[in-house]
Amino acid sequence: MPQPPAAGHDGARPPADGPGPRPSGELAIETRGLTKTYRGGQLAVDGLDLAVPRGSVFGFLGPNGSGKTTTIRMLMGLIEATAGSARVLGQPMPAAGRRVLPKVGALIEGPALYGFLSGRDNLRRFDAADPVADPRSRAARVGHALERVGLAAAAGKKARAYSLGMKQRLGLAAALLQPRELLVLDEPTNGLDPQGMREIRALVRELAADGTTVFLSSHLLDEIEQVCTHAAVMARGRLITQGTVADLSATVLDSRGHGRLSVTTPDTADTVRVLKEHGLTGLEAADDRVTGELPDPAAALDAPDGGVPLDLADLNAALVHAGVRVRGFGTERASLEDVFVQLTGEGFDVAG
């Protein structure tokens, strides 16, 4: 559901995250105790405290039904919160909606399109609804938006004949008719083929590089991991954690000890044997790759024999000494799937 277009953005990017709460002026979105309860007592969002830094690509992560879309609808003033507060671009919502929404582009629960109109004419309608849009440059804005989302060749086709992926692209084009300070996207790659997903991810990176804050809701872990700088994890209406993607991954690695080792080799059986002898656990071999959990360095120091933490260089040397042909060797970075499972104890729909 595209929002009215806007006047522009300042292009500023925030400083690196530091300890403690961020000043409100550095946040594109901030919520305090945001709660939504529907009739019958269904608690959709429960006391949400969210902090989205300006200039970030923020992944709002959670399985379907976790409260993501309900949160976005409250942020955009489409539904009222039961309790708590929300600020968007430093202004209270929904009270400041008329001032805020022209600076926000949004695609929520799929675009609202006129099926009897072409893709180009749909965008013309959206642009004409913007009170600050100059009619003299409308054709150029519409053409540029269509180019950015890869729909220029299908611009004359009726919207009712568009595939789901094409409709998603057209909705995104409507959100991009004017420069934005904030872009809110709810499942933007829904219905897209792999190539379309890559193109949308590239577009999100381009927008972020121009200074636009992008708030990206998705249930696809790999999508958020590839494009986002920050993320929040939702489950059953509650915020589980939030922070930079790197910090979330590091937290999981720290909780596991030293992380997970990956060795690429054609000699998987010998690799498993050597790694097991050196204290690795959870060993798995698939094709030409062996992975395993490295022992906790702190546990080695506390051992009765006064052991020392395992040195990765020594472990690599031990593999080579055993005749293992090592073609790749290193520790893995924890994925967002690891983060989610570690924090919630639940599985997650990684592929969609």
d(CA 314, CA 28): 47
Total number of domains in the chain: 2
Instruction: Look over the chain and give the mean of its residue pLDDT values, rounded to a whole number.
Output: 82
> Which one of 217, 250, 283 terminates a domain?
250
> Which one of 250, 279, 307 terminates a domain?
250
Interior CA angle at 230 toward 18 and 63, to 5°? 140
pLDDT given at position 54: 94
Range with the poorest average pLDDT among 62-66, 133-137, 335-339: 335-339
pLDDT given at position 96: 94
The overall pTM is greater than 0.75: no
Q: What is the pLDDT of residues 124-146, one digit of tens each?
A: 999 998 888 899 999 999 999 99
pLDDT given at position 296: 63
Which residues have a Cβ under 8 Å from the Cβ of 93 and sit 6 or more positions away? 74, 75, 76, 77, 86, 87, 100
Q: What is the CATH number of the domain that holds 324?
A: 3.30.70.100
Q: Say if 345 falls within a structural domain.
A: no
Q: Say if 279 falls within a structural domain.
A: yes
Whether residue 252 contacts residue 339, with contact meaning beta carbons closer than 8 Å, is answered with yes
Q: Say if 162 falls within a structural domain.
A: yes
Task: Say yes or no: 75 and 216 in one domain.
Answer: yes
Q: Say if 347 falls within a structural domain.
A: no
pLDDT given at position 6: 38
Task: Say yes or no: 264 and 216 in one domain.
Answer: no
- For residue 86, what pLDDT band results from cuts at 50, 70 and 90? very high
**Which is higher by pLDDT, 216 or 302?**
216
Q: Say if 177 falls within a structural domain.
A: yes
Task: Say yes or no: 242 and 264 in one domain.
Answer: no
Q: What is the CATH number of the domain that holds 174?
A: 3.40.50.300
Task: Say yes or no: 207 and 189 in one domain.
Answer: yes
Of 148, 163, 151, the residue nearest 119 (C-alpha) = 151
Q: Say if 46 falls within a structural domain.
A: yes
Task: Say yes or no: 155 and 285 in one domain.
Answer: no
Inform me whether the pLDDT recorded for 8 exceeds 50: no
From the centroid of its chain, how far is CA 203?
14
Task: Say yes or no: 162 and 266 in one domain.
Answer: no
Other CB atoms within 10 A of residue 248 CB: 26
- For residue 35, what pLDDT band results from cuts at 50, 70 and 90? very high
Task: Say yes or no: 217 and 126 in one domain.
Answer: yes
Task: Say yes or no: 188 and 295 in one domain.
Answer: no
In angstroms, the Cα distances linking 116 to 122, 124, 238 are: 9, 14, 41
Largest CA-CA distance found in the chain, in angstroms, rounded: 81
Range with the poorest average pLDDT among 157-171, 212-226, 272-286: 212-226
Task: Say yes or no: 168 and 290 in one domain.
Answer: no
Tokens standing for residue 104: 């926000």
pLDDT given at position 226: 82
Q: Say if 196 falls within a structural domain.
A: yes
Task: Say yes or no: 186 and 307 in one domain.
Answer: no
CB burial string 318-328: b at 16+ within 10 A, e below: ebeeeebeeee
Identify the domain containing residue 103 by its residue range.
24-250
> Which one of 208, 229, 250 terminates a domain?
250
Task: Say yes or no: 160 and 306 in one domain.
Answer: no
Task: Say yes or no: 298 and 160 in one domain.
Answer: no
Q: What is the pLDDT of residues 279-308, one digit of tens each?
A: 888 898 989 999 888 776 554 434 444 445
d(CA 142, CA 95): 30
Q: Say if 341 falls within a structural domain.
A: no
